[in-house]
Every structure is written in structure tokens, then in C-alpha cells.
Structure 1
Amino acid sequence: MKRLSQILLLLFITTFSEQLLAQKTEGFSIKGKVKGIKDTTVFLAHYFGYNQQVIKDTAEVDANGNFHFKGIKTLPEGLYLVSLPKGKYFDMIIGNQEFSFETDTINLIRKMKIVGSKENEAFFKFQQEMSDRFDEMKALEAEAKKGKNPAVEAKIKKVQAATSQFQQEWLKNNATLFAGKLIKSSQEPEIPAYPKPVLTKADTAAMYQYQFQYYKAHFWDNIDLKDDRMMRTPFLQKKLERYFDDLTVQTSDSISKEADFVLARATARDVRRYVIYKISSQYETPKILGTDGAFVHMAEKYYIGEPVLWDTSTVRRMKERVAILKPLLIGKRFPDMYLTDTLGKEIEIPRIPADYTVMFIYDPECSHCRESAPKLKQAYLSLKAKNVKVVAASIDRTPLKWKGFIKEFKLEDIINGIDIHKNPKTGKEEYYTDFKNTFDVYATPVIYVLDKDKKIIAKRLPIEQVEDFIDFTRKQKMAKNK
């Protein structure tokens, strides 16, 4: 079964493309000439995050390096890349839909000449100037490595100051251009000097805390989340990942709070949809235990709560996903699972006396389940001494397969259950447990760890990590009760 995030990505790109096709059809005409290539094909694509590109046109290159991107529909504005043979490419701003350029494979940036696009003239002049300054700095740093030289150190400081001044002046002079927004969005916030003396370890800790808080508070200052063109750059995705991976405490509440903070700024429709999608997909199947509550928050508030942003299919899928996941969040009481043991007796999970209960949900013919079964057997040898019970529930309702699995892997010591119940009146078999929709079993095995009150404290752990997790949880609880 495909993850919902994969389906949502496809729906997102498809819907987005359909919206672009609905734009006014004015067309585009971009002529290029690249010395050093001939008789080949080149591609024009816009960024969709830093690791995906959406191809919008292809063009054939003649014997002299000439090619022509053209179409009858207006291209969405943003940062594009022109992809050349042998992995070479360069970025280009698409705003004006008609312009030309010429460059050379010897140095695509330095040799670039633009005609008819003020955005790209400014964009490439910035890159050319910065490239020259980088080369100058590189040469000075190489000289400095040979030994202490006050004259070289002074030159380095001078180049650094001149470069900083150039950037500030360039940004000021091009503030109205998208090129200006683009370069600014790639820059980090500048942290002011700490206003107090740093004399002790406590002062140092306070300084670091000040720097972190300032950096986080001003993290989004340089990127305009009210401009849809930012979605077609690599910078928005990078900033989202940096903010939520490195600057946000990995708990559902903190993630949800920070998501709300970012989305209060992200008012442009395409940017808003992209931010919602990226955060939601990250926490649908999270790397950090227990953060899927952030996915539920995003789904309820920004998919179900803002249906005008999405097609009806996406909203419906989100409603279905929330209905499954919300009762299974960390801290929720484990839903009723109706099982009988090998003697046909009902297994009452809420009444199992244990400090912790491990629920192992499996398919007897699943290869991963068969790999996990010996590990489950081994783990139980030490878990049972810690007042931990294990319930193995088969989703396959074939008694022969179920009992064969138990016997093969010598699991008779644990509690084995199957969803087969005989109606006392008719004598017919009945099934009561919907493993897929009640316990989110879209692949097996699935493991839940429950506390003594049968509340979920972990899920989807590899069997190898279960004992360590329980030991860690027990120690935390003991330390808290001291």
C-alpha cells in the first residue's frame, strides 16, 4: 500500500499543474546559445523544492549551439534550471516570458550575457561579482596557510568587508526584483553581538541561548512567504527542513505550534499548500516516536479545515487517515481487539495483568513477520521476568496457518490470538476486528507497546528495540517518582 504522503505528492503536483494550464495563455519564447554543445537536447525545468524539478519544455540544439524554448502557455514565474548534456546546468529566473541569452561551457556563469530580462541581468551580475570575490578570497586564504602574514590577513578582512558591502548595496538596489528576493532568501539571519560580558560558563550558556533564540525568531525574515514564486526555488524546502529538524523540539505539541507560526506567514496560495504538504508528509510516518500527532493536527486544521485549498479527493483521504490515526496516538487507550486463543477462549486484553504489554500483529505468511518471530521469542525470554506480556495477533483467519506459525517458532509461551468467534446460536464463525482501519495495519508486522493501563506508549518499533524501550521507559518512570 502506498503511503498517503506519496499519494498526496502526486495529487499536489497534478493539481498544481492543472492550475498552471488554466492560466492566461500568452506563451513564452526564450532563445539560447551555448558554445561547447551541439546536436543535442536541452531541458527547461522549474524547481519544486531542492531535490525535485518539473520539466516545462525541451529544445533541440543545432550545430552552432542555438536552441529555442517556446510555448503557447505562460510559464509560472520562479527559479528554473537549464539542463545541458553531461550533467551541466545553470539557474535562470523566469519572469519576463521573452528574452535571450548566450554563454559558454568553459564557464557558464562568467560567460553569461542576457538580452531582454532585467531579472536575469541582475541575477547573473551578482553571481559573476561573487565568483570573482570568491576566487580572490580563495587565493588569499591559500597564502595565509603558508604562515602568519599581517598583510595577507589585512587583505582578507578588506575583501570580506567589501563583499559584505557589495551584497548589502546589491540587495538594496534590487529589492523590487525577484532576483533580490531570491538572493536574500538564501541568506541566514545576522545575529547581533551578545550585549553582556562573557566571563563564566553560565555567561557562555546564556550567550548561546541568546544566539539560538534570536536566530530562531528571525529565521523567516529573509524569505517572503507571501510570494508564490518562492515555491519554485530550492530555498523554501531547505528552510522548512532546517527549521523543523534542527530548531523545533520534536514533540507533537511543539511541531504543531511551529507549523501554525510558519503558516500564519505563508499566505500565498501555492506556498501555503507546499508548506502544509511538506510538514504533513514528514510526520505522517515520523522518524521520532510519538510525533504523528503533528500530522493529525495538520490534517485536521489545514486539509480538512481549509478544503478550498485542495480537491475533494485529497480532503476525503485526509478524513479517512485522521479517523484511523487519531485513536492510535501516543497516550490513547488501545482500541478493543477481539481475539480468541488456541482453545477458542476470548482474550480480554484490558484484563491482562502486566506492567507492559507488547502487541505483535502479524501475518503467518509474511516474510518480515517470519524474520521477526525468532527475535520475538528471544526478547520474551527476558521480558517475562520484567512483568511484560506479549500478545501475538494473526490477521490471517486460517487456523491451520496460525497454529503452524506458533508451533514453528515455538511461541506457545506467549498469548496467541486470532479473530475467529463462533456465534453461540448459529455456530458460524464471525469476525469482529478490522485490523487495517482500527489498528493501521497496512503492512506487517506492526508492534504496539502498552503501559499497565493499556495506553499506547510506542508503536511500529522494530522488535529488536522493544526491550530497550521498555527498560528506558521504566527507568524514566522510577526517576520521576523519586
Structure 2
Amino acid sequence: MKHYSKQIFLFLLVLVFGTQSFAQTPSSFSIKGKIAGLKDTTVFLAHYFGYNQQVIKDTAKVDSYGQFQFKGTKELPEGLYLIALPKGKYLDVVIGNTNFSFETDTTNLIGKMKVTGSKENELFFGFQQEMSSKFEKLKQLDAMRRQKKDAVSEAAFKKQQADIETFQKTWLEQNKGSFVVKLIKAAQEPEVPAYGKPIVTKADSAAMYQFQFSYYKSHFWDNFDLGDERLMRTPFYQKKLERYFEDLTVQHADSISLEADKILAKVKGRDIRRYTIYKITSSYENPKILGVDGAFVHMAEKYYIGEPALWDTSTVRKMKERITILKPLLNGKPFPDMYLTDTLGREIDIRRIPADYTVVFIYDPECSHCRESAPKLAKMYPALKQKNIRVLAASIDRSAPKWKKFIKEFKFEPMINGVDIHKNPQTGKEEYYTDFKNLFDVYATPVIYVLDKDKKIIAKRLPLEQIEDFIDFHKKQNIKK
């Protein structure tokens, strides 16, 4: 379903960034730049959309003196922008007041920056210049202490570290209320306090790590203002969302849904809310981790269907269609009826297959990936059968000759082989009852389901090579229960 996710993404791009209304002169923008060492070229002004994408808002020609101007009559959404220069170089600027100018030099874009008419950018570059100077001194002191290895050099190095820390805290406090402070804080990690108990045993170590993890997670969003839509147009928000859900959230549908609800309870702005909903939802439609597609269903039901005013009718309709397919196929659900007959024309009742586990292999006889997987499955089957695991191989192609040829070619005879061909006893004509695409989410083949002894789904789209290990793990988990 990659085309589906891309469609929503493109829709959001248009919706979020294409609906700015034309403004009068007071809302127009004019950014004049002069960069020594740059001439007779083109530069671009773009804002961040996550850390790996930018949305271009304007282009400008650079004259022989390094001068250029971005200008327009359409208001720029506020946030962190970049000016893209030749040879992969770029310069970050803050867009709030959109009428300002600056001068710098290609030899040191930040160090030689001078800004006129933008307090935010004066703060932004002033902070970077001061920090760069302090870190350069720290670097020199570090080289000195490594060479001399004496107490005096070590003390000077630590004093400079403390000076940097004091400067940062003082500067942030003095300039609180500015967007630049929000930017800097947004990039900061939570500072975990020292663990207050002695570490003697392994249990003590485990308790310390648990404390550190819990503190870090619970304070992860402390420095990030989820109510400020400008932070959506920075590289930081996407990174924080991904880290929070990939590294700090238990990869279980209920846990993911709970954390998403907590975050979205704080995200009120229309654009950043849409962006947040999209980023979380799209991560779990075709997840890499088994069994978390329930989070996609939760997000789609609660935030797309449940908040239709945020989306167009086409998006809501497609979400409804997707949920209709996915919801009956979530882990723990009974495997839907699959109407098949075997090679002798007898009906196959999946629920009557005597096995502790059943692997359903849905394939197309002419699919190249299916033909690659088939010999591997045939080779695995004897070991699976010894563990009371049966395989039902179901062809989506209703051509009996192709189906039977595939069974013979890949030695599938020991398995249970089914096809959706049913003869009407009255007319003698073939009838078909199984909608593989909409009932079993078969948009590409092969598709593998693993069912427990009660024929409930415990895995979907499991790689062939992981079947045996997964079932062994599942068995152990059930024994523990």
C-alpha cells in the first residue's frame, strides 16, 4: 500500500503548505543577503518539513557582488528556514519577522554573520558565535591537557566546561520568550539526575537503569513546546517523534496507541496536529514489527474518522476502507472464512485442520517472489510437521492447471493445497467465493499468516525464514502463562 501512504503525504503537503492566503504589503516578505565569495549563481529559501525534507518557498539570483533578495507578497509561515547555497552548503535562518537583511562570508558563514532588522536572528547567530568561540577554547584546552597530563591543565579544561554550561543556562534564561530559545531547547535531551542509591548487586544496576529510562521518558517532551506550530517547521519534531515511538515506547499496539493519545492531547494547533497524526499513523500501516498494525487502526478510527474536519472526504473514505480490511485481521482475531477446495474438489474447513499451529501461505503460481519462497517452504515443511504445524497453501489464481502444476513443481503435495474453485451442483459451473484482496489484505504475494490451535491470528506477513523461530517463541510464552 505504498501508493496509499504517498497519496496522504502529498495531500498533507498541499493542505499544510499550500493554503496560505495572499497577503497585503505588511505581510509580504523581503530578505536581503550579501555573501562575500558568492557570485553569479542561484540560491534557494526553504523551510524544514521534518529533518529529511524541505519545502522551497523562493529562489533568488546572486549578482557579481554576492547580493540577492528573497521577496514576495505571500506571507511565509514562521519556523526555521535554510538558504541553500552552491556545493551543498546552507545557512539556517529564523523566519518570524520577514523583513530583514544580513551579511556574511563564505569563509565562515556563521562566524562573520551580521544581521539587521531581526532580533531573533541576532540572537540565533550571536548564540552560535559565542558557543563556537567557547568550544574552540575548550578544544585547545583539551589538546593541552592530553599533552601535559597535569592537574593545572585538567582544572582549566573543567573550568571551561563549567563556563559553557553556565553561559548556556544564563543565556537561555535571559532570552526566554524568544523563538530561538525554544529552538535550542527543542534540540536538548532531558538531563537525568544521579541515581541516589548504592549499586552493589545486579538488581541494584537493573533498578538504576529502570530509573534512568523512566525519568528520561517521562521528561522527554519537557523542553519541547507541543503547542507551538513553528516547531513543526524545524528538523527537531520529526526526530523526537521517531525516537519516542521507536526507542521509548513498547512496540505493542495498545502501548503505541496510549502514547499517541497522550501526545495528541497536548497538540492543539491545526497544522501540527495533522502532521503529528499523519506521522504516527503512517508508521504503523505497514509496520516492520509484527502485531502493531492495531495502532494504525486506532489512529485511523480516532483521528481520521473521529476528526473528519481535519481532512478531506477522500482521505476519510480511504481510511474507512482500509480499516474495514485490517480490523478483522488484527492479532487475536479469528481467521476469516477462506472458501477453498482441495485437488479432489473437496471443501477445506480450516477450523478442522488438526494442528497446534497453522501456516497459511497465500500465493500466485506465476509470482516470482512466490516461486522463490516455495522451495524454501517445501524444504521446511517436514520439520514443521514434526512439531504439529500444518501448512495450508492457497492459490489466488483460479486456473486449476496452473495451480496443480505449481504443486507438482515445488513438491507441495504433503501440504494442504487449496484453491477457490467451487462447482455449482445444479448448473455445473465454477463459482468463486473468496475475495483475497479485501478479506485477507492480499495486495502483493506471497502473504503468510500464522494461526494458533484455535485458528486465531498470531502473526501476519511473517517472513518465511522466521516462521519456526516465531512459533517456538510463541510456545514458550504460552508455557510461561
Normalising by structure 2, what TM-score?
0.97
Q: Distance in 1 between matches of 2:20 and 2:480?
A: 57
Distance 2:100 2:166 in 1: 31
Indicate the residue corresponding to 1:66 in structure 2. 67
Q: Secondary structure at the match of 2:359?
A: strand
Stretch deviating more after TM superposition (92-101 or 26-35): 26-35
How many residues align? The count is 480
| Partner residue in 2 for 1:338 | 339
How far apart are residue 302 of structure 1 and its match? 1.0
| Superposition pairs of residues 283-362 of structure 1, within 5 angstroms | 283-362=284-363
Which digits, 9 at most, give the CA deviation of each residue in 1:172-228, with x for residues without a partner?
Answer: 222121111111111112223333444444333333222222211111010111111
Supply the distance in 1 between the matched residues of 2:356 and 2:205 (Cα, whole angstroms): 43
- 1:469 matched to which residue of 2? 470
Does structure 1 conserve the Cα–Cα contact (< 8 Å) formed by 2:120 and 2:178?
yes
Give the match's secondary structure for 1:416.
strand
Q: Is the 8 A contact 2:361 2:393 kept in 1?
A: yes
Q: Give the conservation status (yes or no) of the 8 Å contact 2:145–2:157.
A: no
1:259 maps onto 2:260 in alignment: yes
- Look up the match of 2:85: 84
Alignment partners' CA distance in 2, 1:129 and 1:360: 62
Distance 1:77 1:97 in 2: 9
Equivalent position SS for 2:193? coil
Deviates more, 1:15-24 or 1:42-51: 15-24
Taking the aligned partners of 1:132 and 1:377, their CA distance within structure 2 comes to 66
Which residue pairs with 1:6 in the alignment? 6
AA of the residue aligned to 2:149: K
**In structure 1, distance between residues paired with 2:466 and 2:7:** 30
Q: Give 1:417 shift.
A: 1.0
**Alpha carbons of 1:147 and 1:351: their partners in 2 closer, same or farther (altered >3 Å)?**
farther
Equivalent in the alignment of 1:447: 448
Residue 271 of structure 1 is matched in structure 2 by 272
1:232 and 2:233 correspond: yes
Point out the more displaced range, 206-215 or 125-134: 206-215
Offset of residue 19 of structure 1: 2.1
Alignment partner, residue 398 of structure 1: 399
Q: CA deviation at 1:5?
A: 2.4
1:22 deviation in Å?
A: 6.3
Residues 22 and 73 in structure 2, CA contact (< 8 A), matched pair in contact too: no
Q: CA deviation at 1:479?
A: 3.9
Separation in 1, partners of 2:338, 2:198 = 62
Summarize the Cα distance change of 1:391–1:23 in structure 2 as closer, same or farther, 3 Å threshold: farther
Opposite residue 396 of structure 2, the aligned amino acid is I
- Counterparts of 1:45-444 in structure 2, within 5 Å, are 45-444=46-445
Gaps of 5+ in 2: none
Letter in 2 for 1:419: D
Give per-residue Cα distances to partners, 1:330-370, cap 9 Å, x unaligned: 11110111111111111111111111110011111111011
Separation in 2 of the partners of 1:421 and 1:304?
A: 38
Read off the aligned partner of 1:420 and give its amino acid letter: I
- Following the alignment from structure 2 to structure 1, what is the Cα–Cα distance between the partners of residues 412 and 181? 66
Secondary structure, aligned partner of 2:20 = helix
Q: What one-letter code is carried by the residue in structure 2 that aligns with 1:95? A: G
After superposition, the C-alpha distances for 1:418-477 in whole angstroms (9 at most, x for unaligned) are 111122222222111111111111111000000110001111111111122112222332
Decide whether the 8 Å contact of 2:23 with 2:73 is kept in 1. no
What is the alpha-carbon distance in structure 2 between the residues aligned to residue 248 and residue 3 of structure 1?
27
> One-letter code of the match for 1:347?
I
Distance verdict in 2 for CA 1:313–1:288, change over 3 Å: same
Give the Cα–Cα distance (whole angstroms) in 2 for the partners of residues 190 and 399 of structure 1. 65
Cα distance between partner residues in 2 of 1:174 and 1:273: 30
Tell me the secondary structure at the aligned position of residue 226 of structure 1. coil
Q: Which amino acid aligns with 1:101?
A: F
Taking the aligned partners of 2:352 and 2:198, their CA distance within structure 1 comes to 61
Structure 1 length as normaliser, TM-score?
A: 0.96
Structure 1 residues 415 and 23, CA, compared in 2 at 3 Å: closer, same or farther? Answer: farther
Instruction: Tell me, in whole angstroms, the C-alpha distance in 1 between the residues paired with 2:283 and 2:398.
Output: 34
Instruction: Give how far 1:131 is off.
Output: 0.9
Q: Deviations over 1:74-108 (max 9, x none)?
A: 11100011110001001111111111111111111
Aligned-pair distance for 1:21?
4.3
Alpha-carbon distance in structure 1 between the residues aligned to 2:41 and 2:342: 68
Flag the 1:3–1:455 CA change in 2: closer, same or farther, 3 A: farther
Following superposition, the deviation at residue 313 of structure 1 comes to 1.3
Query: Cα distance, 1:57 vs. partner?
Result: 0.9
Q: Which amino acid aligns with 1:100?
A: S
Deviation for aligned residue 1:315: 1.1
The offset of 1:40, in angstroms, is 1.2
SS in structure 2 opposite 1:19?
A: coil
Q: Which residue number in structure 1 is paired with residue 17 of structure 2?
A: 17
Cα distance in 2 between the residues matched to 1:428 and 1:141: 85
Q: Which moved more, 1:452-461 or 1:464-473?
A: 464-473
Q: Structure 2 vs 1, CA of residues 147 and 323 (structure 1 numbering), >3 Å: closer, same or farther?
A: farther
d(CA) in 2 for partners of 1:201, 1:148: 35
Q: By how many angstroms is 1:263 displaced? A: 1.1
- Describe the superposition over 1:219-275 as per-residue Cα deviations: whole angstroms up to 9, x where unpaired: 101011111101000111111111111111111111111111111111122221111
**Contact (CA 8 Å) 2:24, 2:73: kept in 1 or not?**
no
Distance 1:457 1:13, change over 3 A: same
One-letter amino acid matched to 1:18: G
3-state SS of paired residue (1:182): helix
Which segments of 5 or more consecutive residues in structure 1 lack a partner in the other structure? none
Distance, in Å, in 2 between the alignment partners of 1:22 and 1:299 is 33
SS in 2 for 1:207: helix
Q: For residues 69 and 235 of structure 1, what CA distance do their matches in structure 2 show?
A: 25
The superposition leaves residues 126-179 of structure 1 with CA deviations (integer Å, 9 ceiling, x where unpaired) of 111111111111122222222522112211221122111111121122212111
How many Å separate the matches in 1 of 2:186 and 2:366?
A: 52
CA spacing shift, 1:89–1:206, aligned 2, 3 Å: same
Superposed CA offset, 1:39-61 (max 9, x none): 11111110011011111111111
For residue 39 of structure 2, what is the aligned residue in structure 1?
38
